[in-house]
Amino acid sequence: MSLELFQLNNKVAIVTGAGKGIGRAIALGFAEAGADVVAVARTQSDVDEVASKVQAKGRRALAVSADVRNKSAVSNMVNKTLDKFGRIDILVNNAGTFIYSPVVEMTVEEWDSMFEANMKSVFLCCQAVAKPMIAQKSGCIVNVSSMAGIVPDPGRSAYSASKAGVNNFTRNLSLELASHNIRVNGIAPGLVLTPGISREVKQMRAKIPNFRTSVVDRVPLKRVGKPEEMVGAVIFLASEASSYITGITIEVCGGLLALMD
């Protein structure tokens, strides 16, 4: 297999949640692979900084401040992308959030917030981007899920349920869009050291005795992941190297899945 199959030369990629963490790493990794990047997040200064780094790598960039839980904001994101680049080849749905809360303590607002951020945003972005992809008869969508959607974890029921929904949505959407030459896949990161995870770890350390033993040490590689370690799987799924793959979610979890029956 030629390594050129992993290149994204002249592809236009939208990455949500691109201001920090995994999304930022993906946006910059895409630029190195040859893609033009639309960096999307709620904080304009964050995506401006990412767009600047994309341009420094010799690629075109667009910074869009958008709350992807909002349909009109998503439509504006897509319209701005089409106005600047004329097409959309890749969508990475990375935006999301986390709340650690046992079910008996959880508020309805907390439950709703998980599904708004982690599932509704994926639906809205996929729906909006699928339309121009169908018109151009090509495209690739990668949804960033979580191992929490596969491996049960007390205190993360709402988050886990929302990410399990993303996994199943990915499979279903892949069937709906396959006839249009659009592939839909996902990755499920394990515990990855991002600003959001740092807040999560603080929450869990306060509530879980022996947090390191119960969470980190059960990972076979005995460490948390880095955002940059998620990039290779996403580039693979977004590139022609995976041209005969659709409807799967790759677990990028340090071997955690190997422990399951």
Report, as residue numbers or ranges, the catalytic residues: 159
Distance (Å, rounded) from C-alpha 8 to C-alpha 185? 17
12 phi, psi to nearest 5 deg: -105, 120
Find residue 186's DSSP bridge partners. Answer: 143, 249
Tokens 């199959």 found at: 5
- Of the chain, the end-to-end C-alpha distance in Å amounts to 34
Q: Residue 186 is inside which H or E element, if any?
A: strand 182-189
Asked if 90 and 140 count as a contact pair (C-beta separation under 8 A), the reply is yes
- Given CA atoms 13, 15, 21, 22 in this order, what sign does their dihedral have? negative
Structure tokens at 135: 């018109």
Cβ contacts of 18 within 8 Å, gap of 6 or more? 24, 26, 27, 37, 39, 40, 41, 46, 47, 50, 94
Please, what is the Cα angle at 29 between 71 and 88, to 5 degrees? 40
Asked if 247 and 170 count as a contact pair (C-beta separation under 8 A), the reply is yes
